[in-house]
Amino acid sequence: MGCSNPTTAARTDRSGVLETGVGAMAMRFAGARWLDERRRRRLAVDQESPETAEATAAVDGGETSQVQSSRPATLSIRMVVPRSAWAVLAWSLLLLGACDAVIAAAWFQESVPELFRSAHKSVFGVDTPHAATWTASALLVVAAQLALVIGWVRGHCLTDFDGRYRAWTRVAISWLVIAGIVGTGAHQAISQVLVSQFEFEGVWQREVLAWLLPLAALGASVILVMDGEMKTSRTARLLLWLSTATAVAGLVLILEPTVINASVIELSPHMVAFLKLAAMVSAPALMVVSMGVFLRHVVHVSPEPAPRRKWRSKKRIFSGEEDQLVEDE
């Protein structure tokens, strides 16, 4: 009657050890705002110092199996994304070749036999660029899908404490919105509604600026986010800015077609329309190639996020120190 139960004593010791470990862990992970951030820090700490795993294994004894070191699961996507840079180059050239075929079909529309010329112009023509519009919209959808895959792979990184992989979801949604606007021609309807509602008297190119400014603001915000995330891959970042420069050149032609020399327009009256078509197809094509190169980087090289700017890092450290002081009090 006076003897204590050994099972109860063991459970008490085990509870004490676990409570001590949980308290220490809570102190080390102070400042994490999200649940997945705490999980990432816990896994990262467990990999660097296995003291917690050893203490848990000693307490469990024969009741549970020995805790093994946590390792990130092997991504099955490694079997899909080519590791060789030459393979990525081949796929990129194939995609760019298909886009060049659409552009060439518009340039050589007069070379088509007379029997098929009318049907060819209605689909591939410079003045009725249905094929180019569909191609650009499809490429933007592919870019959105690649953004989701990149975000999923980045989500497996144990050192992304700030959850920066969530930015790729925003990128995917933005590309889907732009793809829908381009594919359906909704920008023209939006422009008509805004001009009829607000008139914009005296505004230069008001029909164009009514849809161009919101769309350009959305695209610029996405490009800046992608540029910050692609700092770990110079090739992907270079292709990103090449795509951006192509898109800007196309927008300049839309706003001010007179930048093309008048003598060139006399030789080829459809030159301005053709250059706008080429920019509309080439810009999303280069964007897809850029994201494909970056996907290979995060899958086979490193999924870790790019280092933040120094002032942001200092701000983050200072915020973490404040949280630590609050919890200590």
How many domains does one find in the chain?
Answer: 2
Statement to judge: residues 234 and 115 lie in one domain: yes
Statement to judge: residues 16 and 117 lie in one domain: no
Calculate mean pLDDT across residues 206-223: 84
Residues, the chain, total? 329
Statement to judge: residues 155 and 262 lie in one domain: yes
Statement to judge: residues 14 and 117 lie in one domain: no
Statement to judge: residues 28 and 165 lie in one domain: no
Q: Is 35 exposed, middle or buried (0-12, 13-18, 19+ CB in 10 A)?
A: exposed
Of 11-20, 80-89, 319-328, which range is least confident?
11-20
3-state percent breakdown (helix, strand, coil) of the chain, nearest 5: 75, 0, 25
User: Is pLDDT above 60 for 17?
Assistant: no
pLDDT value at residue 22: 45
- The answer to whether position 329 is within a domain reads no
Statement to judge: residues 89 and 237 lie in one domain: yes
User: Is pLDDT above 60 for 109?
Assistant: yes
Cβ atoms of 210 and 191 closer than 8 Å: yes
pLDDT value at residue 283: 95
Q: In this predicted model, what pLDDT tens digit does every residue of 123-157 receive, in sequence order?
A: 888 888 889 999 999 999 999 999 999 999 988 87
Residues near 41 by Cβ (< 8 Å), separated by ≥ 6? 28, 29, 32, 161
- The answer to whether position 210 is within a domain reads yes
Statement to judge: residues 109 and 52 lie in one domain: no
Q: In this predicted model, what pLDDT tens digit does every residue of 42-68 receive, in sequence order?
A: 565 555 444 444 544 444 444 444 444
- pLDDT over 70 percentage in the chain: 65
Calculate mean pLDDT across residues 195-202: 70
Q: In this predicted model, what pLDDT tens digit does every residue of 290-299 receive, in sequence order?
A: 999 999 999 9
- The answer to whether position 17 is within a domain reads yes
**133: domain range?**
76-310
Statement to judge: residues 24 and 140 lie in one domain: no
Calculate mean pLDDT across residues 94-118: 87
- The answer to whether position 270 is within a domain reads yes
- The answer to whether position 170 is within a domain reads yes
